[in-house]
Amino acid sequence: TQLLEQSPQFLSIQEGENLTVYCNSSSVFSSLQWYRQEPGEGPVLLVTVVTGGEVKKLKRLTFQFGDARKDSSLHITAAQPGDTGLYLCAGNSGGSNYKLTFGKGTLLTVNP
C-alpha cells in the first residue's frame, strides 16, 4: 500500500510569514498533485508535478517534486489570511492505475 505522509499536520502563522509543507513517501509516484480544500467544499487542484526535480510556481506558492519522485514540498511566501485551508498532496502511481492516494493534509491558519 502506498502511503503519503504530510507534515506538519497543523500550522498557525501570522500574515506575512513564510512556510513550507512537506509530503513524503517510500514509494515512487508517476505524478503528484497538490490540492487546497476549504470547509464544506471539495478539494481544488493547485498544481500537478510529473518530472523528478521539477519546480513550479503559482504566484506566491512554489511546488517542488523530489528527484526520486517520492517526495514533494509546498512553500508559501508572505502568507495571507486567504491562504487558510487544508492542503492535501495526492500521488498517482501511473500506468492503468488512475486513483489518487492522498496524505492526511496540513491545516494552515494564517492570522491577520
94 is a site residue for other proteins (CB under 8 A): yes
Q: How near is the Cβ of 25 to other proteins at its closest, in Å?
A: 13
In this complex, which beta carbon is closest to other proteins, that of residue 20 or of residue 37? Answer: 37
| Overall size of the chain counted in residues | 112
Question: Do residues 37 and 57 lie in contact, with contact meaning Cβ atoms separated by under 8 Å?
Answer: no
C-beta of residue 21 within 8 angstroms of C-beta of residue 87:
yes
Does residue 21 belong to the site contacting other proteins (CB under 8 A)? no
104 binds other proteins (CB under 8 A): yes
Q: Does 8 help bind other proteins (rule: CB under 8 A)?
A: no
Q: How far is CA 76 from the centre of its chain?
A: 11
